[in-house]
Amino acid sequence: MTDLRTRWRGFRSGMSQRWDRLPKASKIGLIVVFIVFLYALPNKGFYEYLGLPLGEYIPLYTTRNDMATVLFQCGYYILLALGLNIVVGYAGLLDLGFFGFFAVGAYTVATLTSPTSKIFTEYNWLDSPWPWLVALPLAIALSLLAGVILGWPVLRLRGDYLAIVTLGFAEMIRIVAQQNDWIFNGDRGITQIAHPPGSSGGKPIFAFDAKPYYWLVLTVIIGMVFLIRNLVRSRVGRAWVAIREDEDAAELMGVPTYKFKIWAFAMGAGIGGFSGALWAGQANFVNSSTFRLEQSILVLAAVLLGGAGNIFGAILGGFLVIYVPEWLRSIGDVFGLPEQVRIAGEPYDVSATNLRYLFFGIILIVVMIFRPQGLWPNRRRAAEIKDREKEAMVGA
φ, ψ dihedrals at 328, nearest 5°: -65, -25
d(Cα 392, Cα 396) in Å, to the nearest integer?
Answer: 6
Which pLDDT score, from 0 to 100, does residue 378 have? 76
Which pLDDT score, from 0 to 100, does residue 393 have? 64
d(Cα 136, Cα 157) in Å, to the nearest integer?
Answer: 32
Q: Are 47 and 54 in contact (CB under 8 A)?
A: yes
Please give the C-alpha separations between residue 288 and each of 170, 243, 257, in angstroms, as whole numbers: 11, 35, 35
d(Cα 380, Cα 395) in Å, to the nearest integer?
Answer: 23
Question: Which CATH number describes the domain made up of 62-395?
Answer: 1.10.3470
- Burial (CB < 10 A; 0-12, 13-18, 19+), residue 97, is buried
Q: What is the DSSP string of 24-70?
A: HHHHHHHHHHHHHHHHHTT-HHHHHHTT--TTS--SS--SSS-HHHH
Low-confidence spans in the chain with pLDDT less than 70: 1-5, 47-60, 334, 381-396
Angle at 134 between CA 129 and CA 136, to 5 degrees: 105
d(Cα 146, Cα 266) in Å, to the nearest integer?
Answer: 8
φ, ψ dihedrals at 336, nearest 5°: 65, 40
Which pLDDT score, from 0 to 100, does residue 65 have? 79
CB atoms within 10 A of CB 115: 12
d(Cα 258, Cα 264) in Å, to the nearest integer?
Answer: 10
In terms of pTM, does the model score above 0.85?
yes
d(Cα 211, Cα 171) in Å, to the nearest integer?
Answer: 32
Which pLDDT score, from 0 to 100, does residue 289 have? 83
- 87 alpha carbon, distance to own chain's centre: 13
3-state secondary structure labels for all residues of 293-341: HHHHHHHHHHHHHHCCCCHHHHHHHHHHHHHHHHHHCCHHHHHCCCCEE
Beta strand ranges found along the chain (DSSP E):
190-191, 199-200, 203-204, 285-286, 340-343, 346-349
